[in-house]
Amino acid sequence: MSLKELNVGIAELKTSNDSEVLVCPALGSCVAIVVYDPNKKIGALAHIMLPDSKEIKKGNKSAKFADTAIRDMIKKLSSKGVNKADLVAKIIGGAHMFKTKNSFVDDIGLRNVTAAKSILNYEDIPIISEDTGGNYGRTVKFYTRNGRVEIKSIKGKREI
């Protein structure tokens, strides 16, 4: 069976079934949050860029922020007949690409990861694996049919 690849750009969110692969090319400080039901083989991936929608004024896309993206994924998966209690999550990305000595810019990658974790925790969705932080970019492929996440980076390939 050939799998269909769907690209998930910055601030986008997509759901997928067992015949599809969700792809996020070259994540830097952005985070890919994967939420899926391992039995029904239905999942979603959000490519978020910022931790908190409350810091920014309204009118933004929900998938831009960790908090609204996770809630939106739960809603979209529920409407496909998935029970929230059956969901598990994986998070990838959140690198700190540039370390400046006297940077006045805080580590947005780390803040993204922390926010994603605390919201998943609040929603009672277990994080079964993660590959986050560091100072390198990652390309992510999520296979909904078996929950596998393939990560490609300058450090090589790995699976979580």
Q: Which residues are catalytic?
A: 30
Listed in sequence order, the residues at least 6 apart from 144 whose beta carbon sits closer than 8 Å to its beta carbon are: 16, 17, 18, 20, 21, 22, 36, 41, 42, 43
Q: Cβ 73 to another protein, closest distance in Å?
A: 17
Please list every residue from 13 through 42 that binds another protein, using CB under 8 A.
25-30
Please list every residue from 124 through 143 that binds another protein, using CB under 8 A.
135-139
Is the separation of the CB atoms in 109 and 96 below 8 Å? Answer: yes
Strands 20-27 and 138-143: antiparallel
- Sign of the torsion angle spanned by Cα atoms 52, 56, 61, 62: positive
Q: Kindly give the residue spans of alpha helices, DSSP state H, lying in 6-160.
A: 66-78, 108-122
Contact flag: residue 155 with another protein (CB under 8 A): no
Out of 103, 118, 122, 128, point to the residue binding another protein (CB under 8 A). 103
Q: Cβ 150 to another protein, closest distance in Å?
A: 14
Nearer to another protein, 58 or 85 (CB): 58
Q: Which residues bind another protein (CB under 8 A)?
A: 9-12, 25-30, 49-50, 55-57, 60-61, 64, 95-105, 108-109, 135-139, 154
